[in-house]
Structure 1
Amino acid sequence: MSDIIRRDPRAEWIARNRLHPLHAAMQPAQHSWMGPNGVIRKNVHGVGFIGPNGIKRIDRSGAQQGGATKRTAAVEVQLPLHQVPSPAFYINVVPDMVGGRLSSHDRDLLGLARQLAGSDGAVLAVVFGEHKESAFATAGVDRLLVLEGHEFDGYSPEQRVQGLRAVDQQFNPRHWLLPDSRSGGGELGRRFAASLKERPATRVWQIKGEECIGRAGAGQQDLARPLPRLILAAAECADPISDTRHEVLPVALSTALARSLPRIEDLGAVAVDPAAIPMAEAEFIFSGGNGVKDWALFHQTAAALGATEGASRVAVDDGFMARDRQVGASGTWVTARVYVAVGISGAIQHLQGIGACDKVVAINLDPGCDMIKRADLSVIGESAAILQALIDAVQTYRSGAKRDAA
């Protein structure tokens, strides 16, 4: 048999043609990539990946054996249940819960807590007020403590520190983990550390044995120190839990919280012009691309939603948007909670720039474009009609809310 490697022109053509039905199957599987903070990320859903609990991902679709059957969305894979009936110790986590849900930073934090807990410890999540999260089980939470009360609403760092002190006295956890973020975890963690008279480890991105490594020198250097009791972890500090589900048993404080008169009064949120928010700090971005034909309607929709406007490189080069509004590897890397892409096909540079966004919504005519594949929610159709319907829906919702308030 000849050793000459022969090319398959048809397979190469399919790999280049994004509209071909077999295009996705011809793409090489991406097992690891570099995240926006320079940390190598791994595809925890990839075949052959071994999770932190030693469970290996396998392919049940039959593709590895040459089978023709494919797993559909209706087939639900039941993950193994991890139970800790009598925890030897606790690892307490205080997630940000922005919008009442776990963010990607919170899930990374719970993955780090799961590493510290091992098989004998339990991960206890402490949540303030009402929440909308229903996926604590698959995020790695063994025990859930919800501190309810109006005193925890809004900006209330003093009351929250007081609540964490009560949790610390009752459960005496081995470690406290909080996200070192601008969403409240960074400030709350430092206030809590001062209350406990502990020296916390900040901007931690890796833990090795009894030592932790954090960013220092404006993010240009690493600082290693012994593992303290209170840890403020950065994003991408660990892989999120993906191979187990947990009990999420509810727990409560044995004693009532002491009430005290706060020294800080929260006067409520202040309206901010979305256009004045830097792209890197925006939580809701409404981005337009080459598929947008009515830019006046696009601006009207962004104003109705209260979103920060962004754009692809094509839209910026054509002069429809300013250069500082460009999203992508050649523009601004964004970390929005919600990113809406209107008429953006999804070039690799643009997909890199939105890699850290929590939820991506795509509006496009092409159901086979890369942005549709990346999106968590896709709307296929003409952008002008969809944007007008979106404006009508927002106005109807707001008028109904005003009617109920009256």
Structure 2
Amino acid sequence: MSDIIRRDPRAEWIARNRLHPLHAAMQTQQASWMGPQGVLRKNPHAVGFIGPNGIKRIDRSGAQQGGAGGKRSAVAEVQLPLHQVAQPAFYIAVVPDMIGGRLGSHDRDLLGLAHSLAGSDGAVLAVVFGEHKESHFSTAGADRLLVIDGEQYQGYAPEQLVQGLRAVDNQFSPRHWLLPDSRTGGGELGRRLAATLGERPATRVWQVKDGQCIGRAGAGQQDIQRSVPRLILATAECAEPVSETRHEALPVELSTEALRALTRISDLGPVAVDPATIAMAEAEFIMSGGNGVKDWALFHQATAALGATEGASRVAVDDGFMPRNRQVGATGTWVTARVYMAVGISGAIQHLQGIGACDKVVAVNLDPGCDMIKRADLSIIGDSAAILKALIEAVESFRSDVQRDAA
């Protein structure tokens, strides 16, 4: 037998890539050993474990390590330290957009900024209108949660929302109001609230530090610095989201009913828009096809059935299956969809860069080891044609059941 030591480059790469599904299996169980010179050698990479936010954690007491050699199971959960504010000295009120009933990345950045302004004495008060589907307010940084429900707050009702926020201001008197400076409602609501409260807000704020806030101006070419006002409209990435602490998110209620003023705006409901006419940079649901799609007619049919906006990888565009303006990626269009469904796309680095801001990614592919599967929040391993047919049948069955129940 040869004495030559053979290396496995792929195994070494998996051992370095903590996002790979086989990463935990490739880790050595030996944390320390005696070297040939009698010196005790320690493996620093074998100490600790990767937490739910991708941050390595080390428990010096050894209570959380478990098992022989200090190895921890990859599926074990990490209990973050609980941040409690029993008697808040003041409140920092945050009104997230809650698109689709869930916290978005912009909302989490806003809660992170509120947490930095609250410090150890203040509490972050999250104000949510209507029903929501979010269950992670505690890990997002909310110390108190106020849900204002009612039919008058459904749809486009800025006047009623402002009345609700005025009731919150009267009861809790927040030191600062934080709203996202977005096109999905936060920007307009914040400006309306500022006019009602008589405050001069700071808009397009991207940094708050040392009692000063910096906002964009002049088409993004200029910065305006001023003292931190009571009402702040912040942009995305204004602060790091909360990831190191767990908060109580205690429910609170309004002691007085919000004013039910007669609204001068009537919401007639959303306008039906053809998804094919929506620009990909503004689309909420995108379904992209790649080299793995063999039946493009079926792909177009499934996209229409799901009500999604069509996209494509560079390979599909180069092959002439999709127009150039539908190319997704660093060499095409950067998208920020709530749901991005990649069908038959392996996940080149340029494509992954283009979908980096997407909230949820669904991947359909035959290769379970491709990069798109690793990036996806939900993966479906199988033939794309069979999966698309099943999706069309499921959608049609659901719609027929809804129509039958309505009749």
TM-score, normalised to structure 1, is 0.86
Give the gaps of 5 or more residues in structure 2.
20-51
Aligned counterparts of 1:329 and 1:25: Cα–Cα separation in 2: 28
Residue in 1 that maps onto 2:244: 243
Residue in 2 that maps onto 1:348: 349
54, 78, 101: which one aligns with 1:45: 54
Residue in 2 that maps onto 1:101: 102
2:56 alignment partner, SS class: coil
Deviates more, 1:235-244 or 1:341-350: 235-244
Aligned counterparts of 2:213 and 2:105: Cα–Cα separation in 1: 21
Residue in 2 that maps onto 1:339: 340
Residue in 1 that maps onto 2:15: 25
User: Structure 1 residues 307, 181: CA separation in 2 closer, same or farther (over 3 Å shift)?
Assistant: same
Amino acid paired to 1:405: A
1:264 alignment partner, SS class: coil
Aligned counterparts of 1:388 and 1:219: Cα–Cα separation in 2: 46
- 1:155 Cα deviation (Å)? 0.2
1:146 alignment partner, SS class: strand
User: 1:234-313 counterparts in 2 under 5 A?
Assistant: 234-313=235-314
- 1:397 Cα deviation (Å)? 0.9
Aligned counterparts of 1:294 and 1:222: Cα–Cα separation in 2: 50
For each residue in 1:126-153, what CA deviation from the matched residue of structure 2 results, as whole angstroms up to 9, or x when unmatched?
0001111111111111111111110000
- 1:22 Cα deviation (Å)? 5.5
Residue in 2 that maps onto 1:218: 219
Report the aligned-residue RMSD. Answer: 2.4
- 1:44 Cα deviation (Å)? 5.7
Residue in 2 that maps onto 1:161: 162
- 1:67 Cα deviation (Å)? 5.3
For each residue in 1:255-314, what CA deviation from the matched residue of structure 2 results, as whole angstroms up to 9, or x when unmatched?
112211100000001110111111111111001111111111111011001001111111
User: Structure 1 residues 339, 173: CA separation in 2 closer, same or farther (over 3 Å shift)?
Assistant: same
User: 1:1-400 counterparts in 2 under 5 A?
Assistant: 10=7, 13-14=9-10, 23-27=13-17, 45-47=54-56, 69-73=71-75, 75-400=76-401
1:397 alignment partner, SS class: helix
Asked if the contact 2:167/2:259 (under 8 Å) is kept, the reply is no
Runs of 4 or more consecutive aligned structure 1 residues displaced over 3 Å after TM superposition: 8-11, 21-24, 26-29, 66-70
- 1:61 Cα deviation (Å)? 6.5
- 1:217 Cα deviation (Å)? 2.0
Deviates more, 1:348-357 or 1:208-217: 208-217
Aligned counterparts of 2:201 and 2:285: Cα–Cα separation in 1: 31
Amino acid paired to 2:146: L
For each residue in 1:357-402, what CA deviation from the matched residue of structure 2 results, as whole angstroms up to 9, or x when unmatched?
1100100111111110011110001000001001111111111111
Aligned counterparts of 1:218 and 1:318: Cα–Cα separation in 2: 38
Asked if the contact 2:205/2:234 (under 8 Å) is kept, the reply is yes
Aligned counterparts of 2:365 and 2:53: Cα–Cα separation in 1: 29
Aligned counterparts of 2:400 and 2:14: Cα–Cα separation in 1: 44
Aligned counterparts of 1:134 and 1:23: Cα–Cα separation in 2: 36
1:163 alignment partner, SS class: helix
Asked if the contact 2:207/2:213 (under 8 Å) is kept, the reply is yes
Amino acid paired to 1:199: R
2:146 alignment partner, SS class: strand
- 1:71 Cα deviation (Å)? 2.5
Instruction: Specify the structure having the higher radius of gyration (Cα).
Output: 2
Give the gaps of 5 or more residues in structure 1.
1-7, 15-20, 30-42, 50-54
Amino acid paired to 2:335: V
Residue in 1 that maps onto 2:45: none
Percent sequence identity over aligned pairs: 73
Aligned counterparts of 2:345 and 2:6: Cα–Cα separation in 1: 29
TM-score, normalised to structure 2, is 0.86
Amino acid paired to 1:26: R
For each residue in 1:54-105, what CA deviation from the matched residue of structure 2 results, as whole angstroms up to 9, or x when unmatched?
x99x9x779xxx95845332x2211111111100000000000111111111
Residue in 2 that maps onto 1:36: none
Asked if the contact 2:113/2:239 (under 8 Å) is kept, the reply is yes
Aligned counterparts of 1:312 and 1:257: Cα–Cα separation in 2: 49
Amino acid paired to 1:99: G
1:109 alignment partner, SS class: helix
1:302 alignment partner, SS class: helix
Aligned counterparts of 1:9 and 1:277: Cα–Cα separation in 2: 54
